[in-house]
Every structure is written in structure tokens, then in C-alpha cells.
Amino acid sequence: MQREVFWEKDDERLELIPSFPLVVAEDWNNSIDWKQKSIRMFGRMIPEPRLTSWYGPPYTYSGVNMPGRPLPAPLQTMMDQLSAFTGFAFNSVLCNCYRHGLDAMGWHSDNEKEMDPTCIASLSFGAARHIHFRDHQKSGKIKLLMPDHSLLLMWNMQQHWQHALPKVKGLKEERINLTFRRIR
């Protein structure tokens, strides 16, 4: 299995595994309860430009409270495989469905106080999309393509970096992204 350190500085590291071999049920995505929620941006609530679902301990981001829910069996299987592969004990997953190229995610860090920032594992299925990174001073930028069945490991990236999934005009295919985390 090809494991590429895409970027590294001190204890911050991005690793990309372009074709991560998961053992999961074919219909794993049917176990996800997709919803379009609203988030607070610039002082008002707007619909998220994606579908999401949260599994794990209670969690809050952008003014959205996510109640705790147990992981469906296929997601638990994925999480167990990722924990074994990375040596990091994940306990939750944020599921994101980008239905087409106009579904996107703006600049942000996953730095909520209840989240352990050591590692976030991001699995991508479906349409290949670029994820962008920038440091908080906006002096360093990174852009990488996440193909179908790829795994991105973000080690200690949340304190000094932001990331985004920009819009892609004309893209009609969906991308499902599962971000495994540890909530304290």
C-alpha cells in the first residue's frame, strides 16, 4: 500500500493513502441518516451546502448541537480498521455528502474544545475533489487531490491550519467524506 507523506513540519503532517483497502459491506452508505442542517455564519443561520450525519459522543460545531449516537455497524468496522492502521483511538465520525460540485465547505479548522486535535482521518468515496489547506497567517498553502477510496491523515494540523473543499462548476458526481475523530 502506497503511503505518502504529502507535507510535514515539526509534528504537523499530512499523509495520503490514494487507495486505502477497507473491508466493509457493499451497502455501508445506506446505514447513514443524511440530513441538511443549518449552521451559523456571519451571525445568521443558513443551510449547509452538503448533507451530514454525526455518530459518536455529543459534539457542537458552528452553533449546531449534534446529539450522541452509536455508530452503525459498517461505520464501526471502518473506525476499527482506521484505529488499528493509525494507532490512534477514534470514537466518532462526521459523515459528509457533497451531492455535486456546488456542495462545498469553506475555510475552517476542526478545533472545537472537546475534540482531540492529534489526528483526523478523512476517507473519501466517489468523485475526486481537491482539498485546500492554508496556515493561519495565509502564507503557506497546500492543495491535494483526494481520489475515490483515498485516506487522508491530518496529524496535528488543526491548531495552525485551515482547510476547505471549494466548489467545482459542472461536477455532477457525489463525494462522500467520512472524517473520523476522537471526542474527549
172 lies in some domain: yes
57-94 pLDDT tens trace: 998 876 678 899 999 999 999 999 999 999 999 999 99
31-66 pLDDT tens trace: 999 999 887 778 888 898 999 999 999 988 766 788
**Host domain of residue 127:** 4-25+35-181
47 lies in some domain: yes
Rounded-to-5 percentages of helix, strand, coil across the chain: 10, 45, 45
CATH number at 133 reads 2.60.120.590
Stated pTM of the model: 0.93
Burial status of residue 104 (CB atoms within 10 A of its CB: 0-12, 13-18, 19 or more): middle
CB 8 within 8 A of CB 14: yes
136-184 pLDDT tens trace: 887 889 999 999 999 999 999 999 999 999 999 999 999 999 999 999 9
How many structural domains is the chain composed of? Answer: 1
125 lies in some domain: yes
Task: Decide: helix, strand or coil at residue 73.
Answer: helix
156 lies in some domain: yes
Report the pLDDT value the prediction gives residue 62, as an integer from 0 to 100: 67
Least confident of 1-5, 103-107, 157-161, 178-182: 1-5
For 29-34, the CB contacts below 8 A with 24+ separation are 29/125, 29/176, 31/72, 31/73, 31/74, 31/75, 32/72, 32/75, 32/95, 32/97, 34/95, 34/97
Residue 1 — very low, low, confident or very high, per pLDDT cuts 50/70/90? confident
30 lies in some domain: no
21 lies in some domain: yes
